[in-house]
Amino acid sequence: MQAIQAYRYALDPTPAQARALAAHCGAARFAFNWGLALIKANLGQRAAERSYGISGDELTPSLSCSMYALRKAWNQAKDDVAPWWPECSKEAYACGLERLAAALKNWADSRTGGRKGRVMGFPSFRSRRKTSPSVRFTTGTIRLDGRTHVVLPRLGRIKTHESTRKLARRIEAGTARIASATVRWEAGRWQVAFSVHVERPVRVPRRADAVVGVDLGVRTLAVFSDDRPPVANPKYLAGASKRLRRAARAVSRKIGPDRRTGQQPSGRWLRANAVRNRAQHRVAALRRDALHQLTTGLAREYGAIVIEDLHVAGMLRNRRLAKAISDAGFGEIRRQLGYKTVWNGGRLIVADRWYPSSKTCSACGTVKTKLPLSARTFTCPACGLAIDRDRNAARNLASLVRHVAGSGPETVNGHGADQKTPPRGAGGCETSTPHWATGQDGDLHPAMGESLRLTDIQ
């Protein structure tokens, strides 16, 4: 199986290398802002000319927003706008312009209806203080040097904080090839993520003919349709709330930066802010590790996994439950199951968003008109079944699929229809090393395999 996945490693650069990394990230941000200013100036000029009654061919020619046009314009103007450009790799400027072209395309597609999701606004200038520094390399020398160093263009040999043997063994065996590398300042240190083309072995789940329904919730993170014990919600954010509040108060009492007056942060503010950031990063790391253990275990065990199509964005509008829902990570669970089921030869089936899994009796199929959240036990008025509402919902989800072939490539639903899993790439994160895939904006993002909806197999 061919897949694109990423291997991310923390770096231990020298002070000189850290300054070079920051310079490359700043160069990418500068190129992005320069190209955006050029596009906005051209649009403003054409709008002003139209207000004067000028139209047609008499207007100032419009600028192309493609990556190639922006890069050509940059090469013509770089000696004037950035005479220091030879200090950084050309890949840094290409990275910024590529991200700008992707942002402009997303904005245009969103306006014309060619892009799903929320409406995208026009790109804005990237601030040094609010933007996470990152830069992507696609050409040049990108390789591993032994088990403790990596080599990047213009940056040279940089020591890693952890061993790279997992990726090195794949490269030595000829089953992996590095395509690009993205360096980012994240979680208080520099990190590099390699986008790798990997040949993954074909796997079969331990119970290839088994189907499990998974009901996600806030009180209990996951309840299953079989005898598998429920997974409690660890609530890492709630558990660390006291520590986070104390760290935030300590930061607020120090002299911090002020852009209006030019005030620079004090040393105590910097140390207190680092403590707060470490506490937040620890919560994210604990949550990520717990979700990976849950999804990996499910993908390796069952041939078919059925979950609900939860409208997480709508659920977050409830201000009383938004914090708990965000801490649970419903969307991340679905994203991870999307590619891990493909990697392990299984299948992810997503039930319709309006399917009444909690209101339907798993024994006789009677649907109740109302079932408040406070009612934790489902009692059927027809057959008298009394069962935990989450367990009842999980059984209803599992009943949507009647049979799974032993090899796992096909699923037969309750209507007897067959549907093969559509071919797609896979990418994502494993428990120890998060894996990422290249997004439309040129960055490395957590990859997600397309999940199969129940409506697609009916």
Tokens representing residue 35 in the block? 């190209």
Residue pair 132/190 in contact (Cβ under 8 Å)? The answer is: no
Helix axes 330-343, 267-301, angle to 10 degrees: 50
Tokens representing residue 391 in the block? 């367990």
3-class state of residue 256 by DSSP: coil
- Sign of torsion, CA 439 344 223 415? positive
State yes or no: is 215 an active-site residue.
Answer: yes
Distance of alpha carbon 136 from alpha carbon 31, whole angstroms? 13
Tokens representing residue 413 in the block? 């639903």
The residue type found at 254 is: K
Tokens representing residue 89 in the block? 């790799």
Q: Which residue has the tokens 């992507």?
A: 136
Residue 268, judged by CB atoms within 10 A of its CB (0-12, 13-18, 19+), counts as middle
* Cβ neighbours around 405 below 10 Å, total: 15
E runs forming strands in 122-188: 134-137, 143-145, 149-152, 156-159, 176-186
Instruction: Please list, in sequence order, all residues whose beta carbon lies within 8 angstroms of the beta carbon of residue 36, skipping any fewer than 6 positions away.
Output: 100, 123, 124, 125
Catalytic residue, chosen from 91, 332, 390, 443, is 390
State yes or no: is 258 an active-site residue.
Answer: no
Catalytic residue, chosen from 98, 308, 332, 443, is 308
Distance of alpha carbon 156 from alpha carbon 89, whole angstroms? 11
State yes or no: is 109 an active-site residue.
Answer: no
Distance of alpha carbon 364 from alpha carbon 196, whole angstroms? 50
The residue type found at 87 is: E
Tokens representing residue 321 in the block? 């439950």
Could you tell me whether strands 347-351 and 452-453 are parallel, antiparallel, or unpaired per DSSP bridges?
Answer: parallel
Backbone phi, psi, residue 116, to 5°: -80, 165
Q: Which residues pair with 453 in a beta bridge?
A: 350
Residue 452, judged by CB atoms within 10 A of its CB (0-12, 13-18, 19+), counts as buried
Closest by Cα among 167, 181, 210 to 345: 210
Catalytic residue, chosen from 91, 98, 215, 327, is 215
What's the Cα-to-Cα distance from 171 to each of 145, 393, 429, rounded to whole Å? 12, 45, 19
Catalytic positions, please?
A: 215, 308, 390
